[in-house]
Amino acid sequence: MRIIGGIHKGKVIKVAKDLPVRPTTDFAKEALFNILANKVDFEGLAILDLFSGTGHISLEFASRGASSVTAVDQSFKCACFLRSISKDLKLDVNAMKGDVFEFIKNCSSKFDLIFADPPYDLATIPQIHEGIMKSGLLKPNGILIIEHGHKTKLDELKQFTQHRKYGNVNFSFFENKEIESINLTD
């Protein structure tokens, strides 16, 4: 695993072989961050990384200056690994063990960008989108990115903006175009 940008650009991180993960390829990750670099300024973003696994997406955002990064994975080993690497690199990543669907239901924070990388064979991938939009986790103009396999089709879900494919890795993008209501009464 390699960090491709930011203050730790080029840093190679050795991942323990016993972690239950399927990391996004460096090729796909680099393409994703090239797309995002043209859409957002990473400085100051609040990021949520769901099904974070090794945390390489979380570390990439933190290395690029995101103000807060929250990472959720059901594996205790993955959460511990990410906490350890974040501490070693002096990056502020809040890595926690937990069920992603329960986290979505119970979280009261709002995020500028949410990245979800569920197991490709997970039957409930569309429910990730539904839960995030229903619970209001995404700030106005926020971006949701769901990584998935080729069999999963998400382009008919609300607020879908684009689909990108890099080898076996697919990214579906969604934007929260809701405008925050402003109370104009005195």
Instruction: Read off the CATH number of the domain in which 82 is found.
Output: 3.40.50.150
| DSSP run (H or E) holding 71 | strand 68-73
The residue segments making up the domain with residue 82 are: 6-175
Instruction: Look at the chain and report how many structural domains it folds into.
Output: 1
Integer-rounded Cα Rg, in Å, for the chain is 16
Residue 180 lies in a domain: no
> What is the average pLDDT value for the chain, to the nearest integer?
90
Please give the average per-residue pLDDT across 21-50, as a whole number. Answer: 89
Confidence of residue 25 (pLDDT cuts 50, 70, 90): confident
Query: What is the per-residue pLDDT across 45-103, written as a single tens digit (0 to 9) for each?
Result: 999 999 999 899 999 999 999 999 999 999 999 999 999 999 999 999 999 999 999 99
Residue 186 lies in a domain: no
Q: Which residues lie across from 113 on neighbouring strands?
A: 47, 143
CA dihedral 70, 6, 32, 53 (to 10 degrees): -40
Three-state DSSP at 2 gives strand
Residue 178: predicted pLDDT:
64
- Is residue 1 over pLDDT 70? yes
Higher pLDDT, 94 or 185: 94
Residue 65: predicted pLDDT:
94
Confidence of residue 175 (pLDDT cuts 50, 70, 90): very high
**Would you call 150 exposed, middle or buried from its count of C-beta atoms within 10 A (0-12, 13-18, 19+)?**
exposed
**Residue whose entry in the numeric block shows the structure tokens 């972690």:** 19
> 5 Cβ partners below 8 Å, 6+ apart?
33, 37, 60, 63, 64
- Is residue 155 over pLDDT 60? yes
